Amino acid sequence: MRVYILKRLIQIVPTVLMITLVVFLMMQSIPGDPVVALLGDAYNQEDAEKIRQAYGLDRPILVQYVIWLEKLVQGDWGASILTGRPVLQDVLVRLPVTLELIALSMAIALVIAIPAGIIGALRQNTWPDYTATSVAMIGVSIPEFFVGVLLLLAFSIGLNGVLPSSGWVYLPGTCPNMVCGVSFWGNMQHVLMPAVALGIGRAAILTRLLRASMLEVIRTEYVTTARAKGLAERPVVLKHALKNALIPTVTVMGLQVGFLIGGAIVVETLFAMPGLGTFGIDAIIARDYQQVQGFALITALAFVIINLLVDLTYTFLDPRIRYA
Amino acid sequence: MANGGEPLRMKPRTISGGALNEAALPAGIAVPGPLARSEAPLTEAIRRLRKSTTAVIGAVIVVVLVLVALFADVLAPMSPIVSDQNTTFARPSLDHPLGTDQLGRDMLSRVIHGSRVSLVVGVSSVVLALFVGVPLGLIAGYVGGRIDSVVMRLMDLILAFPVYLLAIIIMIMFTPTAGLLGTIKVVGAIAIVRIPIYARLVRGSVLSIKEKEFIEACRALGARDPMIIRRHVLPNCLAPIIVTTTLGIATAIIVEATLSFLGLGTQPPTPSWGWDLKANISFIQANAWLTLYPGLAIFVTVLGFNLFGDGLRDALDPRLK
């Protein structure tokens, strides 16, 4: 197991290097000059040159990349061209908010999808199955931000505004600066709607998948055998069938993480949450190269790491994969 | 597919191909190729498709939407971009069946015209991805070796990014603009992120098909590689490609709406559902319906393609039902 984890960790290195290169090259090709944006009306040739030198913007692109990568590894992700604050610090402050949102929405997706998928498969072609599949069909067809808007209408504008439409209250112990609201319940109130908005679509996709793979698994001979030897229905479904049906579901979950991260950007923007998504979109609008790089990099890195975790979950579900 | 009216020299190939294909299937090789075996499965697939309620509902939604987009100029009661300062935030009425927005533009006309961007981007981005991804997958899978690893590493590189992040990065590079050019940029961005899906799918199918004995028979008969790929390998990959394409249009429409929502899609004044939804959120408190219409329009469109795609999959690959 340890060897396998180590092997997977080493495999990540070239991927991460390529990601950094692509992010860097893409950001270089963005039209628009950050120095002009920075100086604004006070633009003059002399100051512009100074700033270009200070940020290394006058060197060849590949040299800029190597310098950047070197600093990156040392934890220096550059400073925001507009605010002067270190990018890594800003990004790390925002990361927990996004991770909380993603984790919670994944949990919501699983809590809905696992029972719905099992019931759909076991009661195939009955009304509980039709309900589950129809609701799932609606769920996969509705974009996150529209779910968010519907939730806003229902709970922030309707129902006397029981849930806040925007802003954030931090979990105890995670407040990044001196002044911020801290409370567990406050946090839950703020994260609930965004997490549901993000989780519903994933729940729908996972339900459809789990139902399909459960249908396949419960027709296999080992499930028949398990039933024939007198096992109760519950262990047959949960231990024999579900564990095997979960394998394709976990694969797709890994792929869905990419959509979750993207969806988080949208949902955070909609609910004005202080996460990575709003950070990234604000940086894009302000054309802050350093911040956009940091955002793209941390997002892509998070994606790679979560995919690694999904791969490791695999080996738990299906020990055969370890030896492959 | 390959046997109707062929010259004599082709015959052994098709006969052995058909027979071996049948024999090989129980071994668990994933060749969902009912299209390639004979004409009967195709006719049967169409019959199953017509019997499926979901597929028919999906097809009806899609056809209606295509008609709306085509005849938007005739159907829309007003111009979607001309504003009228006297009737801002009008409630739904006979003059404005869906009301007006903050610039006094008729919402019904905007929703009708918005279908163009969604459908054009959804369909053409997927078709573009198809035309790049399928040949890449065919070549990578069929030729193998170094070309295979180069192509697939390139695909892995695209897949190393979360879909939305890459689409956002590409749109920043392209600089979002309005009108046709703006729409083409969005098509390009979404196509790029969808290429690996086809390349991987096709490569996987090709890898298993090219080991089949009927392909070897083709070679023994002296058929050239391009001809083998076109006549025998590609038809055997068609079923999953068709299904992925239909469902892919649904995804592409969601990605387009999301990019527009983030302000990175086609720019105003071109009407776009995602942008409209975003623009009207500021007024959600007093004018909730303004956010509902574009949102519902996106939802119904995506639902149509998903229903049709689902029905299509069940029809082409009955084992999944």
**In chain B, domain spans:** 51-73+105-316
B281 touches chain A (CB under 8 A): yes
**A125: distance to nearest CA of chain B, Å?**
11
Nearest to A32 by CA among A56, A57, A54, A53: A57
A19 with B162: Cβ contact below 8 A: no
Q: Which amino acid is at B281?
A: I
B163 touches chain A (CB under 8 A): yes
Out of B24-38, B136-150, B162-176, which region has the weakest mean confidence (pLDDT)? B24-38
Q: Which residues contact B135 (CB under 8 A, 6 or more apart)?
A: none
Q: How far apart (Å, rounded) are the C-alpha atoms in residues B308 and B303?
A: 8
pLDDT at B125: 92
Q: Provide the whole-model pTM.
A: 0.80
B262 with A146: Cβ contact below 8 A: no
Asked whether residue B128 carries a pLDDT value surpassing 90, the answer given is yes
DSSP sequence for A229-252: TT--HHHIIIIIIIHHHHHHHHHH
Quick: pLDDT tens for A124-154.
778 888 888 888 888 888 888 888 888 888 8
CB pairs under 8 A between A and B: 122
pLDDT-derived band at B114, boundaries 50, 70, 90: confident
Beta-bridged to residue A69, according to DSSP, are none
pLDDT-derived band at B15, boundaries 50, 70, 90: very low
Out of B160, B295, B303, the one facing A18 most closely (by C-beta) is B160
Out of A141, A149, A262, the one facing B165 most closely (by C-beta) is A262
CB A245, CB A216: distance < 8 Å: yes
CB B140, CB B199: distance < 8 Å: yes
- Count Cβ neighbours within 10 Å for each residue of B277-305 and write b for 16 or more, e otherwise: bbbbbeebeebbebbbbbbbbbbebbbbb
Tens digit of pLDDT at every position of chain A (324 positions): 677 778 878 878 888 888 888 888 777 776 666 677 667 777 777 877 887 777 777 778 778 888 878 888 888 877 777 788 888 888 888 888 888 888 899 889 889 888 888 888 878 778 888 888 888 888 888 888 888 888 888 877 777 666 677 777 777 666 666 667 667 777 777 778 899 989 888 888 888 888 888 887 777 777 778 777 877 777 777 777 787 777 777 777 777 777 788 888 889 888 888 888 888 888 888 877 778 888 888 888 888 888 788 777 777 766 665 554
**A141: distance to nearest CA of chain B, Å?**
5
Could you tell me the two tokens for A261? 């991260």
Asked whether residue B27 carries a pLDDT value surpassing 50, the answer given is no
Beta-bridged to residue A86, according to DSSP, are A79
B295 touches chain A (CB under 8 A): yes
A29 with B173: Cβ contact below 8 A: yes
Here the ipTM equals 0.80
CA–centroid distance for A111 within its chain: 18
| More confident site: A119 or B320 | A119
pLDDT at A178: 61
Nearest to B1 by CA among B24, B47, B32, B35: B35
Out of A18, A146, A263, the one facing B298 most closely (by C-beta) is A146
Residue B248: exposure state from Cβ atoms within 10 A (0-12, 13-18, ≥19): buried
Out of B254, B262, B291, the one facing A269 most closely (by C-beta) is B262
Q: What residues in B contact A157, CB-CB < 8 Å?
A: 284-285, 288
Quick: pLDDT tens for B187-246.
988 999 889 988 888 888 888 887 778 888 888 888 788 888 888 788 877 877 888 888
A145 with B320: Cβ contact below 8 A: no
Q: How far apart (Å, rounded) are the C-alpha atoms in residues A116 and A210?
A: 9
Q: Say which DSSP state A79 is in.
A: B
Neighbours of B244 (CB within 10 A): 22
Q: Please state which CATH class domain B51-73+105-316 belongs to.
A: mainly alpha
